[in-house]
């Protein structure tokens, strides 16, 4: 699976960064979630087509607002909800 550029930067530099600077525990937790987002070792769902028996595995998401994938989805849902409330 391709890794986004932001996630790749964190994978490359996070260990060095957290050694140099004090970081709040919540930030440590959110970054850890983001780095393991969709990682099969953290859990997955298995889907099997009843017609052709093709099997696909999909890693669980982290649901962290810090994650560029999960956070974006949460932001889009929030914007949609808010716009409906404001403009109707």
Domain count, the chain: 1
- Residue 13's domain spans which residues? 5-87
pLDDT of residue 69: 83
Measured between alpha carbons, how far apart are the two ends of the chain, in Å?
A: 41
* 36 and 62 Cβ atoms separated by less than 8 Å: yes
Integer Cα distance of 24 and 64 in angstroms: 16
pLDDT mean values, one per 10 residues, the chain (88 residues) = 78 94 94 92 94 94 85 83 83
Strand partners, 48: 55
pLDDT of residue 47: 96
């Amino acid at each position: 699976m391709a890794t986004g550029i932001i996630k790749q930067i964190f994978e490359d530099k996070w260990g060095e960064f957290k050694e140099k600077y004090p970081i709040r525990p919540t930030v440590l937790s959110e970054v850890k979630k983001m780095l393991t987002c969709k990682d099969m070792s953290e859990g997955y769902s298995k889907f099997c087509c009843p017609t052709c028996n093709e099997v696909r595995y999909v890693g669980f998401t982290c649901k962290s607002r810090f994650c560029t994938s999960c956070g974006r989805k949460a932001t889009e849902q929030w914007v949609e909800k808010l716009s409906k409330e404001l403009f109707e």
